Amino acid sequence: MNFLEKLNYLMDINNINKHILSKESGIPYSTIDNFYKKGYEKAKLPTMQKLAKYFDTTVDYLIMDEITDVNYGKTYGFQISFDEMNYLEKYRALSEHGKQVVDLVLNLEYDYCKADKTSGKPAV
């Protein structure tokens, strides 16, 4: 999906048009309208940031054609390291059996780490 397709989609699911988007986001109507008339290749970062904030998405989602998940890149209050992203990418590539093995090991290790060190029993 390109930027205009995403913008149309976001306006559709929010039941708004360009006029409402302009008024509620603080982006001049002419700027939004010119995306359709003149293109969006020269769109300014602050404008994209306002759109992303208004639609509760990310600038990456708006500008990267290959990203089609509107929730892409949202952290919901926590950070993820590059190592964790690599683990997640590898996990997603596993078969169902592989995922079950990883889940088993991860749960066992998590329980061990949470164990009461004095009794050796898993913490409750």
- Domains of the chain, residue spans: 3-63, 82-113
Per-residue pLDDT band at 83 (split at 50, 70, 90)? confident
Buried b (16+ CB within 10 A) or exposed e, 83-115: eeeeeeeeeeeeeeeeeeeeeeeeeeeeeeeee
Instruction: Please state the pTM of the whole predicted model.
Output: 0.61
81 pLDDT higher than 90: no
Of 85 and 51, the one with more pLDDT: 51
Q: Which two tokens stand for residue 23?
A: 């008024």
118 pLDDT higher than 90: no
* pLDDT of res. 10: 97
* CA dist 121 → 111, 113, 114, 116 (Å): 9, 10, 9, 6
Q: What is the pLDDT of residues 54-76, one digit of tens each?
A: 999 999 999 999 998 888 877 66
Average pLDDT taken over every residue of the chain? 89
122 pLDDT higher than 60: no
121 pLDDT higher than 90: no
CATH number of 3-63: 1.10.260
